[in-house]
Amino acid sequence: MEQQVKRIGVLTSGGDAPGMNAAIRAVVRSAVGRGIDCIGIRRGWNGLINSDFVRMDTSSVSHIINKGGTLLYTARSEEFRTVAGQDKALATCKLLGLDAIVAIGGDGTFRGALDLSRRAAEVDYSLQVVGIPATIDNDIGCTHYTIGFDTACNTAIECIDRLRDTMQSHERCSVVEVMGRHAGYLALSVGISAGATAVLIPERKLDFDRDIVEKIRRARLAGTTHYMVVVAEGAGNTMEISRQIHESIGIDPRVTVLGHIQRGGAPTMQDRETASRMGYGAVQAIAEHRGNCVVATQEGRMVVLEMEAALKMTKELDMGRYRILEALTNNCGAL
């Protein structure tokens, strides 16, 4: 007979993403509603090693659904990668009497969760771990959507809209770097939505003349005097791209690196709602003793996937969306 779940921990790890607080809120309130105690682990896996925790209840997560960042803070931990570090984390789990941990973050967070669960099995300690995907990069293979992506896109679009105003006034070219690590999801979505002249992504090998020079040239022939080039951070060096534009066609680009501003701000409706559903689903999976798993979205549905299998999954950027971008920019004037 399976033992009743009495107490769970929740943590956020890796890069922060808008909507993490909404996920924490959903985990805590869903747990309390089932009569399960909830412990907040501060500063990710590092906090589990160092017994940095706080008891949580429904009131402790009031008024955070609209807040960016993470109430529990986040950090990366090299020590947790070691067996000694995992043993320290398990010691904290035993001390607190945790039956499960909900880990909110990206692939690295999930791999840490899986390592902890394997180590727990080796020392004969029953511990469920459940992952909730949260990263603005949207680059987790097992889920079609990750918490924070929509908010980051909207933040970048707002910044680019403002940049366009000044670029248009001075008849200039703007080269804007957005985040995304080694994936182009953010750059492509932002580029389409902001009406960029060109978008560079890691998934498409750069042909400088085809992807930038010709697009700017066509836009100029169509009457445009200002241009917007969006570059994913993994697609190339933004300063070098700007220099090449200047040398190739004589215009003087201005470089803007949006950076960590994309991680901040109040989460959008999509991120609040998705985070709430995922937080609820994580607690439900724990209550049903689903073991080590990830709560994900596939084809618009919420699904629960076995963690080891989920970490092996990959997804490819839909290049049909890049063709849409090209269709809307080729031979066109101002966008």
Lookup result for tokens 């399960």: 36
pLDDT at 2: 66
> Exposed, middle or buried by CB within 10 Å (0-12, 13-18, 19+), for 244?
middle
pLDDT at 285: 98
DSSP string, 263-323: G-SPPPHHHHHHHHHHHHHHHHHHHTT--SEEEEEETTEEEEEEHHHHHH------HHHHH
pLDDT at 331: 58
Q: Are residues 131 and 173 in the same domain?
A: no
Q: Are residues 155 and 125 in the same domain?
A: no
- Residues with Cβ within 8 Å of 158's Cβ and at least 6 positions away in sequence, in order, are none
Catalytic residue among 52, 107, 137, 271: 137
Q: Sign of torsion, CA 154 28 34 108?
A: positive
CATH of the domain at 110: 3.40.50.450
Q: Are residues 11 and 131 in the same domain?
A: yes
Q: Are residues 245 and 198 in the same domain?
A: yes
Q: Are residues 284 and 140 in the same domain?
A: yes
Q: Are residues 66 and 44 in the same domain?
A: yes
CATH of the domain at 233: 3.40.50.460
Q: Please report whether residue 234 resides in a domain.
A: yes
Query: Can 161 be counted among the known catalytic residues?
Result: no
pLDDT at 17: 97
Total number of domains constituting the chain: 2
pTM above 0.85, yes or no: yes
For the chain, which residues score pLDDT lower than 50? 333-335
Residue of 72, 70, 8 whose CA lies nearest to 38: 8
- Residues with Cβ within 8 Å of 17's Cβ and at least 6 positions away in sequence, in order, are 134, 135, 136, 146, 147, 148, 149, 151, 152, 263
Q: Please report whether residue 85 resides in a domain.
A: yes
DSSP string, 24-65: HHHHHHHHHHTT-EEEEETTHHHHHHTT-EEEE-TGGGTT-T
Q: Are residues 162 and 144 in the same domain?
A: no
pLDDT at 332: 59
- The whole domain housing 218 covers 150-264+318-329
Q: Please report whether residue 2 resides in a domain.
A: no
